[in-house]
């Protein structure tokens, strides 16, 4: 079977993670944390997840010309993601995400976008023939223009949430958002042109088409370590399964299992599962 190809237009960050006894309240200092560094950024996370699930991936992105870029791109390079359209900018720093994680796996994230904010619509390929996947950690005008230039399947993950032009939502074959983002989108959820997947945290996810629910799935029971990047894995896994022709319930089961598995491990990109691992979890053979 021919491997699907997806072009990801999105962010690249280096995640600096502090695991703490508790997440701080406003004005509070929490000590006793441990420190980790992982490749991250929603675009890069989803690109890596796609690659590990069996997809050929091209990433269109911007980083600084610095040591952080080497770290941020290391796993993508190791997994064979096409990085020929990742440009290093001499006058910007690589994006950085400062992440706090508590013992239950909940997180707080603060992003310094750096080079991600320097993406420009005019720098996009004239035409995007492959399937396209975008998120919203880069300028919205870049996402909107990428959708206009897309000739194949279009998937949009509306995170972190922002309002896109209505024509983008109508053009998208797949929208992925969480409960809070769906509430913010309001009536436009029903006006979306394709499938809409809404993640429900520990309750799993549901799928809508034309405003009507076509599937709802609970995730496998797992021990949660870190939820950072779980939504990115869900998005990638759902796109892969729909490209391969699974029906809505089957696609949601696959995506929920992949996301649940990623939450059992620390970090965003290091936690991305392989297809074999997801299939083992679904079959009950996971160890």
Of 176, 170, 180, 144, which Cα lies nearest the Cα of 158? 176
* Beta bridge partner(s), residue 98: 16, 110
Quick one: tokens of 16?
């600096």
- Cβ neighbour number for residue 225 with a 10 Å cutoff: 18
- Cβ neighbour number for residue 153 with a 10 Å cutoff: 18
Of 46, 50, 16, which Cα lies nearest the Cα of 34? 16
Distances (CA, A) of 140 to 20, 161, 168: 33, 11, 11
Contacts (Cβ under 8 Å, ≥6 apart) of 72? 12, 13, 14, 39, 40, 41, 44, 63, 94, 95
Q: In a 10 Å sphere around its CB, with 0-12 CB exposed, 13-18 middle and 19+ buried, how is residue 27 labelled?
A: exposed
Coil, helix or strand at residue 157 = strand
**CA 279 to chain CA mean position, Å:** 20
- Phi/psi of residue 21, nearest 5 degrees: -60, -25
For the annotated catalytic residues, the residue numbers are 232
Contacts (Cβ under 8 Å, ≥6 apart) of 3? 54, 55, 56
Q: How far apart are CA 231 and CA 17, in angstroms?
A: 17
């Amino acid at each position: 079977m021919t491997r699907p190809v997806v072009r990801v237009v999105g962010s690249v960050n280096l995640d600096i993670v502090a695991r703490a006894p508790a997440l701080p309240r406003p004005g509070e200092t929490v000590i006793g944390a441990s420190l980790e560094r992982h490749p991250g950024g929603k675009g890069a996370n989803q690109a890596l997840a796609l690659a590990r699930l069996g997809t050929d991936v091209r990433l269109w992105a911007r980083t600084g010309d610095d040591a952080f870029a080497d770290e941020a791109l290391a796993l993508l390079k190791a997994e064979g993601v096409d990085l020929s359209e990742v440009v290093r900018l001499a006058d910007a720093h690589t994006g950085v995400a400062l992440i706090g994680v508590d013992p239950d796996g909940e997180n707080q994230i603060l992003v310094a976008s750096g080079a991600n904010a320097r993406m420009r619509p005019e720098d996009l390929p004239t035409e995007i023939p492959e399937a396209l996947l975008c998120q919203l950690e880069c300028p919205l005008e870049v996402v909107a223009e990428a959708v206009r230039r897309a000739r194949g399947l279009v998937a949009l993950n509306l995170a972190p949430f922002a309002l896109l032009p209505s024509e983008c939502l109508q053009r998208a074959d797949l929208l992925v958002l969480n409960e809070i983002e769906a509430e913010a989108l309001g009536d436009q959820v029903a006006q979306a042109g394709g499938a809409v997947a809404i993640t429900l945290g520990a309750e799993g996810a549901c799928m809508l088409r034309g405003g009507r629910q076509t599937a709802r799935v609970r995730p496998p029971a797992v021990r949660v370590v870190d939820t950072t990047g779980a939504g990115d894995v869900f998005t990638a896994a759902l796109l892969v399964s729909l490209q391969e022709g699974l029906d809505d319930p089957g696609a949601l089961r696959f995506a929920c299992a992949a996301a649940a598995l990623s939450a059992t491990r620390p970090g965003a990109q290091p936690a991305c599962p392989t297809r074999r691992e997801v299939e083992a979890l679904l079959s009950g053979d996971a160890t």
